[in-house]
Amino acid sequence: MSSNILSVHKAQKSIGSRTLFEGLSFGLSSGVKTGLVGPNGAGKSTLMRCLASLDTLDSGSIVWSQNTRLQYVSQSPQFKPGETLGDFLFKNQGLDAEDPELSAKMWEFFSRLNLDEYDLEKKMTALSGGGQKKVQIIRSFLTDPQVLLMDEPTNHLDVESIMWLEDFLKSRPSMTYILISHDRLFLQNVVNEMIELNPKYRDGFIRTQGGYAEYKELKIETERAQNVQQQRMQNDVQRETAWLRRGAKARQTKQTARINSAEQLQQDLEILKSLNRSRAVAIEMSTTTRSPKKLIEVQNLSLARPQIDRVFFEKLDLLIHRHTRLGLIGKNGSGKSSLIQSLVGDAPYPGGLTLVSGSVKKYEDLQINQFEQNRSSLLLEKTLLQNICPEGDYVFVKGQPIFGKSYLDKFRFQRNQHDLKVKELSGGEQNRLLIAQMMTKNCQLMILDEPTNDLDFETLDSLKTALDEFEGAIILVSHDRAFLDEVCTEILYFPTPEEGTELVRFSSFLQWQDWRTESAAQLKKKSKEAAQSVSAQVGSSSGSKKNKMSFNEQRELEQMEEIVLSKESELIVLREQLESPEVVSNSKKLMEVSKQISVLETDVEKLYARWQYLESLRSQ
């Protein structure tokens, strides 16, 4: 039976005049994998920071079981001036960067997440958003924590890295974790219970066993029950109000109680109405009336970045027309942003991007609306109203003036938030404001670069509906696989350098996923055959062949023998314990030691396989 590892009792937290949550009470058992969801601004990230002891509650308590080893992955990490990867991963955690086991584990994670070119002297602030997120995740895994708290871990990650993260989490059945995410497929794949933090529910939250699908069923049933309760209460109020209007006098105790009951019923009904009030975001896309059939025509396009000796893709033919729904997927740095840059801007491009050959022809009066992943168009020191109405009190949508405060109401911003500085909003609220800002601009082409980051499910649904109704073209970059499949009718995959320079087209994300699985199996088979061939020739190689190992792989190989010997020594000790009378006579202890041996044997087996692979690389 799982032991209780966390107890939250009557937790309450406010920011200024806004109450995020109150009276929140729940427990967590060891080994449970929890998805924490809810509307933007409900206090999910604040609760997570309180759980990680980085923030405090206004009242109530959070109690972890004694000596719990805990790691936290922040939604928006802050790094110290000059902080390097070595500082972040080791020094600031009190770890030794020279520890061979930790070092080998780190290099292996780097290799799995395509960070082979990184070194420990690299500044954290010099990394891309995806790079920072990957290093954060690696740091959280280094010390094998009992509990993992992850706030939007899939943000900024490419689809391949998200799928790796899913596999890794599923391979750690004993680990307890709470993660905030709005990636529906990710939640379905990695959690076994869901908690929605939402003031619309009487307890401030709902909780269900299972993944996203089970949660969605409970949410629909809970909201239906609350609506039924509201209708019944409304009928009761009408009946009691009619009785009062007949002129009943409070001369008797029974009548007095009934009048008081009617008043209380009316108050309860108002509370329930407030809870059940729709919080959907009213998103409307504006498009111009003049829109030609061809918006952008790409012919024989090849793009490269000579400084890093990288050709992103070659000989691309692409037609963007008014009904285009194109999704772009590929690993971070594979060229997705470079293609967008070539479509939006004019050569010469910044950052050393070079158009090697081909042409990009754009409709002369083409209007493009772009959602930037870094939210650079938001003025963080200005208020919400100043961002929406920089001049005056009105915004214009589809040529019609709308009062700024009323416009913000449509995007579910409360009146007491309108004069807040944008930097005080949550990540999801900032994205919602950016969408509101975009909707004031007419366009024929909408380019959305990771628009789903931090957005709650209600806003995601509204955005999806608005995109369905938009009459122009859409180019979408997103790690949210479900959202990609719902919006796009064509997927363009950007291959890795090993896969070549030809972009591959698919009709859906699921088609790409099937292709990737088949390709990975074929690649694994070829790698195994190649490794066996090389292994058979060890000793006869000339040694004059080019070393194709990365620096990180060389470091990993140098330390591999020491790690394997250390693990095997642990195995010897455990096997001796297994034969001792003290363990043999204690069934509980016997089971624990046997389990440790099984896990360690699997680790050693994996290490030998990895060692053989690295040796084969060195021999090439």
pLDDT, one tens digit per residue, over 325-341 is 999 998 888 888 889 98
pLDDT of 344 > 60? The answer is yes
100-112 helix and 129-142 helix, angle to the nearest 10 degrees: 140
Between strands 294-305 and 310-321, the pairing is antiparallel
Report d(CA 542, CA 620) in Å as an integer. Answer: 10
- Read off the pLDDT of residues 427-464 as tens digits, 9 standing for 90 and up: 778 888 888 888 888 888 999 888 888 778 888 888 88
pLDDT band at 269 (very low <50, low <70, confident <90, very high): low
* pLDDT score recorded for residue 326: 94
* pLDDT score recorded for residue 587: 59
Task: Give the residues across from 598 on adjacent strands.
Answer: none
- Read off the pLDDT of residues 587-607 as tens digits, 9 standing for 90 and up: 567 667 766 776 787 777 778
* DSSP letters spanning 291-342: --SEEEEEEEEEEEEGGGTEEEEEEEEEEEETT-EEEEEESTTSSHHHHHHH
Task: Indicate the residue type of 283.
Answer: I
The single residue listed with the structure tokens 């689809």 is 159
Closest C-alpha to 609, from 541, 528, 530, 555: 528
Report d(CA 509, CA 329) in Å as an integer. Answer: 9
* pLDDT score recorded for residue 524: 59
Check whether the bond before 348 is cis (ω within 30° of 0). Answer: yes
Ranges of H-type helices in 318-426: 336-344, 384-388, 404-410
pLDDT of 273 > 70? The answer is no
Percentage above 90 pLDDT, the chain = 22
The single residue listed with the structure tokens 């109704």 is 469
The helix (run of H) or strand (run of E) holding residue 520 is: helix 509-536
Q: How many CB atoms lie within 10 A of CB 480?
A: 26
Domain boundaries along the sequence of the chain: 4-217, 294-514, 551-619
Q: Any long-range contacts for 246-250 (C-beta under 8 Å, 24+ apart)?
A: none
* pLDDT score recorded for residue 543: 43
Percentage above 70 pLDDT, the chain = 81
Task: Indicate the residue type of 512.
Answer: W
Report d(CA 382, CA 419) in Å as an integer. Answer: 9
The single residue listed with the structure tokens 């009928």 is 235
Report d(CA 610, CA 599) in Å as an integer. Answer: 17
Q: How many CB atoms lie within 10 A of CB 169?
A: 21
Contact 548, 617 (CB under 8 A): yes
The yes-or-no answer to whether 4-217 and 294-514 have a common fold is yes
CATH number of 551-619: 1.10.287.380
The single residue listed with the structure tokens 């997120």 is 133
Contact 487, 464 (CB under 8 A): yes
pLDDT band at 36 (very low <50, low <70, confident <90, very high): very high
The CATH class for the domain spanning 4-217 reads alpha beta
pLDDT band at 59 (very low <50, low <70, confident <90, very high): very high
* pLDDT score recorded for residue 108: 85
CATH architecture entry for 294-514: 3-Layer(aba) Sandwich (3.40)
Contact 144, 177 (CB under 8 A): no
* pLDDT score recorded for residue 580: 76
Report d(CA 611, CA 620) in Å as an integer. Answer: 15
134 or 519: which leads in pLDDT: 134
Tell me the two tokens of residue 145: 């924590």
As a whole number of Å, the end-to-end CA separation of the chain is 51
- Read off the pLDDT of residues 152-163 as tens digits, 9 standing for 90 and up: 999 888 888 999
* pLDDT score recorded for residue 134: 92
Report d(CA 39, CA 44) in Å as an integer. Answer: 9
* pLDDT score recorded for residue 430: 86
Q: What are phi and psi of 337, to 5 degrees?
A: -65, -30
pLDDT of 287 > 70? The answer is no
Q: Which of 39-53, 348-362, 449-463, 490-504 has the highest mean pLDDT?
A: 39-53
396 or 531: which leads in pLDDT: 396
Q: Is 30 helix (H, G, I), strand (E, B) or coil?
A: coil
Report d(CA 324, CA 608) in Å as an integer. Answer: 49
Q: How many CB atoms lie within 10 A of CB 107?
A: 24
The helix (run of H) or strand (run of E) holding residue 239 is: helix 212-245
409 or 584: which leads in pLDDT: 409
pLDDT band at 102 (very low <50, low <70, confident <90, very high): confident
Tell me the two tokens of residue 217: 């069923």
* pLDDT score recorded for residue 453: 80
**Average predicted confidence (pLDDT) for the chain:** 81
129-142 helix and 159-170 helix, angle to the nearest 10 degrees: 10
Lowest mean pLDDT among 3-17, 193-207, 367-381, 484-498: 367-381
Contact 102, 96 (CB under 8 A): yes
